[in-house]
Amino acid sequence: MGRADARPAAVPQLQSGALGGEVAYYRRFHGRFTPQNVVFDANLQEFAIRVGYICARENGGMLSPTAAFTQVQILWEQLALS
């Protein structure tokens, strides 16, 4: 086997997300188990993934810093309402 075939020890489970593709969730929920906490945790993970995509697009020159900030601010407001 070549080096390209090497895989990490723990492969994250893929789930369909609102982004239109597959989204990897790298951790489980830890904390007091209530439906509200689980929903907020899922929303927080989705927020982090989306912010990562926005940052990558901004760093790649496909999005201006102002537009990236605006998009992150909108996502933050949506997270705060969840």
Q: What is the pLDDT of residue 8?
A: 37
Furthest CA-CA distance within the chain? 49
The amino acid sitting at 33 is F
Q: Within a domain: residue 13?
A: no
Round to whole Å and give the CA distance between 46 and 38.
12
In a domain, residue 64? The reply is: yes
User: What is this structure's pTM?
Assistant: 0.63
In a domain, 81, yes or no: yes
Q: Is residue 59 part of a domain?
A: yes
Look up the domain containing 60 and give its range.
Answer: 32-82
Supply 22's token pair: 């597959």
- SS3 of the chain: helix, strand, coil, percent, to 5: 55, 10, 35
CA 45, 29, 82, 13 torsion: positive or negative? positive
| Residue range 28-43: mean pLDDT, rounded | 82
Average pLDDT for 52-71:
96
Better-scored residue on pLDDT, 16 or 71: 71
Q: What is the structure's pLDDT at 24? A: 52
